[in-house]
Amino acid sequence: MIDANLRLPAQRESAQGLPTILYVDDEANALKYFQRAIAPLAEVLTATSVEEGKRILDEQADRIAVLVSDQRMPGAYGNELLSYAWDRHPHIVRILTTAYSELEHTVEAVNQGQIHRYIQKPWDIAALRMELKQALELARLRNEHAQLLREKLMVRQRQAVANRIGTLYALCASLAGPEQQLPVEAYLSAALTAGVTPPEPDWLLMDYADLVSSEAFRGTAFAAAVRQQLDTLEREHPGRGVEQVVDMLLPVFGAALQSQGGTALFLDGRLLTEFLETPTTTPVSAIHSFWLATLLWLARRGWSLQLSKTEMGLQGKVVQAEPALTPDHLAAWIEQF
């Protein structure tokens, strides 16, 4: 799965269609001089302190392409701001501008990977503009790369859900008997009602074979847990009627489920979608395994649990199972996720 902390921002341009540069310097004349020199290339935002720079970054990071900071300012050094941007907004190209006497701090920042480059003061305007043109081009390329990653992420997410639905069908087919298609439709209908956030592909497992292997072991562990739960249900409730299914669910779901006149009120929809949306490396919980086992238990008896959204949560009632799934019908379900 992709690292949950990885951000792929869609960078916005200014109202004039220009990219945006944030320049931070405590000297008012330097701010004005920089704005006049760079105005044809980009919209320039300014700040007079590290703290103000941090605030603007946090508020407008999605429109800032390049951050330029003076090094020596009251209260904090510019490399602190660049390090802050590196940690929280890594897509922004970072430049330090400094006098020769402060070069030691600049070299340290470069070595730590916190800045793209430094520009020595006093500026040569032609060189300054050239440096900023290059920085803006780098920001543009980074933004294009981020967009490609977003598109790849969306494809991988849809593939992950589709593959897991296929695994779910195979699992149910091996456990449910002649009505193997029934719990699949009940499960997918409940998941769609609850809402599914597609799993993020694991960019740490870049090798496709590793991803497939990880998913296979996760699915196998889930199948074993469901089989065990289903065997327990059949053993402990041999003569129980389907109308008592809510009473069977209550001890397992606990506070996440309420009984309302023979219907079930699920207060946390995530417990019903776990297999489809949690990361590859996250085992499926016992509660979720019991949920699918219960649907299988109902399916063996020709019944299902139909969910609908309410203000309080997801309300489920026992209904007769739908007709058998066909390959086209299953494909239509997959298209909805």
Report yes or no on 144 lying in a domain. Answer: no
Same-domain check for residues 285 and 188: yes
Report yes or no on 5 lying in a domain. Answer: no
Same-domain check for residues 174 and 308: yes
Same-domain check for residues 71 and 161: no
Same-domain check for residues 85 and 164: no
Same-domain check for residues 162 and 111: no
The answer to whether residues 57 and 94 touch, using CB atoms and an 8 Å cutoff, is: no
Report yes or no on 50 lying in a domain. Answer: yes
Q: What is the CATH number for 73?
A: 3.40.50.2300
DSSP 248-290: HHHHHHGGGEEEETTEEEES-GGGGTHHHHS-TTSPPPHHHHH
Report yes or no on 234 lying in a domain. Answer: yes
Please give the residue range of the domain that contains residue 190: 156-335
Report yes or no on 7 lying in a domain. Answer: no
Q: Write out the two tokens for 115.
A: 């800045």
The answer to whether residues 79 and 71 touch, using CB atoms and an 8 Å cutoff, is: yes
The letter for the amino acid at 305 is L
Burial class (CB in 10 A: 0-12, 13-18, 19+), 65: buried
- The confidence score (pLDDT) of residue 202 equals 61
Q: What end-to-end distance do the CA atoms of the chain give, in Å?
A: 18
Report yes or no on 205 lying in a domain. Answer: yes
- The number of distinct structural domains making up the chain is 2
Same-domain check for residues 161 and 310: yes
Boundary (domain end) residue, out of 99, 123, 147: 123
Same-domain check for residues 84 and 164: no
Torsion 209-213-214-216 (CA) sign = positive
Distance of CA 154 to the CA centre of its chain: 10
User: Where is 154: in which H helix or E strand?
Assistant: helix 125-175
Same-domain check for residues 114 and 72: yes
Same-domain check for residues 301 and 168: yes
Report yes or no on 191 lying in a domain. Answer: yes
Among 73, 332, 285, which residue's Cα sits nearest to residue 188? 332
Boundary (domain end) residue, out of 81, 101, 123: 123
Same-domain check for residues 115 and 186: no
Boundary (domain end) residue, out of 105, 123, 141: 123
- The confidence score (pLDDT) of residue 10 equals 54
Burial class (CB in 10 A: 0-12, 13-18, 19+), 276: buried
Same-domain check for residues 162 and 33: no
Among 277, 292, 309, 271, which residue's Cα sits nearest to residue 173? 292
* pTM (2 d.p.): 0.64
The answer to whether residues 61 and 31 touch, using CB atoms and an 8 Å cutoff, is: no
Q: What is the pLDDT along the chain (337 residues), one digit of tens a residue?
A: 333 334 445 556 554 679 999 999 999 999 999 999 998 899 999 999 999 999 999 999 999 999 999 988 988 888 899 999 999 999 999 999 987 655 666 666 666 656 888 888 899 999 999 999 999 999 999 989 888 877 887 788 888 899 999 999 999 988 876 555 578 999 999 999 999 988 766 655 557 788 888 899 999 999 999 999 999 999 998 888 888 999 999 999 999 999 988 899 999 999 999 999 998 889 999 999 999 999 999 998 889 999 999 999 999 999 998 888 889 999 999 999 8
Q: Sheet containing 117-121: which strands, arranged edge to edge?
A: 43-47, 20-24, 64-70, 93-99, 117-121
Same-domain check for residues 185 and 75: no
Report yes or no on 67 lying in a domain. Answer: yes
